[in-house]
């Protein structure tokens, strides 16, 4: 008669290898999901602390310890998420662009019916966002210029959502048959992005002086560059 106990012989029949049981897969997934949420919350706290410091100082002249103190977490936890202060600042740059700048620009462009004028709306939207630049904008602009030299791949990754939006706008404009240019969509998007970026950075840092161009002037220049035909 069976005793109900698992004997040594019984245990040897339990498979060790082979497909993972569904209950085990689900339990691991739940555990990892919880860990991902906690990790996201902690990294977000470091990003938020860095933004607060930029608002306070108007620059990135603060230390990792300042960020750690502001986040109320440990320096060991910081280095679990970020290799350096620059690594954190890249995350701040990406976060602001992806969560604030690009959604606002997209909403402004989507409110315009004509695909050609959506590109114009993008340029004028950028100008509106930088009419009264705050300390965070100035700090990120200064940091971005430094990053272009030291970590160009990181900067390219940070700007990708913005460049993707421009490429989408130019692709839609080209579909109207009213653009005449030898440039590919990607080339036109990158050239427009960096042209607008240079003008905007000059506005934010106040370095343009008499060379500061208006949004209308910048659109006139860029529209010719992407091949808009003037009727």
Output the pLDDT for position 147: 82
**Cα(125)–Cα(85) distance, rounded to whole angstroms?**
31
Six-digit token pair at 24? 């085990």
Closest CA to 74 of 49, 95, 37: 49
Contacts of 127 by beta carbon, 8 Å cutoff, 6+ apart: 200, 203, 214, 215, 218
Statement: residue 20 has pLDDT above 50 = yes
Task: Please state at what angle helix 185-205 crosses helix 135-150, rounded to 10 degrees.
Answer: 130
**Cα(187)–Cα(183) distance, rounded to whole angstroms?**
6
pLDDT band for position 150 (cuts 50, 70, 90)? confident
User: What is the mean pLDDT of the segment spanning 80-101?
Assistant: 91
Output the pLDDT for position 138: 86
Output the pLDDT for position 208: 60
User: What is the mean pLDDT of the segment spanning 27-49?
Assistant: 80
Q: Read off the pTM.
A: 0.78
pLDDT in tens, 105-141: 999 999 999 999 999 999 999 999 888 888 888 888 8
Q: What share of the chain is helix, strand, coil (3-state, %, to 5)?
A: 75, 0, 25
Domains of the chain: 23-82 (1.10.10), 84-231 (1.10.357.10)
User: What is the mean pLDDT of the segment spanning 88-105?
Assistant: 92
């Amino acid at each position: 008669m069976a005793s109900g106990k698992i004997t040594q012989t019984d245990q040897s029949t339990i498979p060790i290898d082979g497909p993972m049981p569904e209950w085990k897969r689900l339990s691991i997934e739940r555990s990892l999901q919880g860990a991902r949420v906690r990790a996201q919350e902690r990294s977000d706290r470091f990003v938020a602390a860095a933004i607060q410091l930029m608002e306070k100082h108007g620059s990135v002249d603060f230390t990792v310890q300042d960020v750690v103190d502001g986040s109320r977490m440990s320096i060991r936890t910081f280095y679990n998420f970020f290799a350096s202060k620059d690594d954190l600042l890249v995350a701040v740059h990406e976060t602001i662009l992806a969560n604030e700048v690009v959604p606002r620009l997209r909403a402004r462009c989507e409110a315009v019916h004509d695909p050609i004028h959506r590109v114009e709306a993008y340029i004028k939207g950028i100008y509106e966002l930088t009419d009264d630049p705050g300390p965070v904008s100035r700090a990120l602009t200064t940091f971005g210029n430094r990053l272009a030299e030291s970590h160009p791949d990181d900067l390219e990754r940070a700007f990708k959502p913005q460049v993707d939006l421009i490429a989408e706008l130019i692709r839609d404009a080209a579909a109207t048959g009213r653009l005449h240019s030898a440039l590919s969509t990607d080339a036109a998007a990158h050239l427009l992005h960096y042209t607008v970026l240079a003008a905007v950075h000059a506005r934010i840092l106040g370095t343009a002086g008499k060379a500061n161009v208006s949004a209308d002037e910048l659109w006139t220049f860029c529209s010719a560059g992407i091949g808009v035909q003037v009727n």
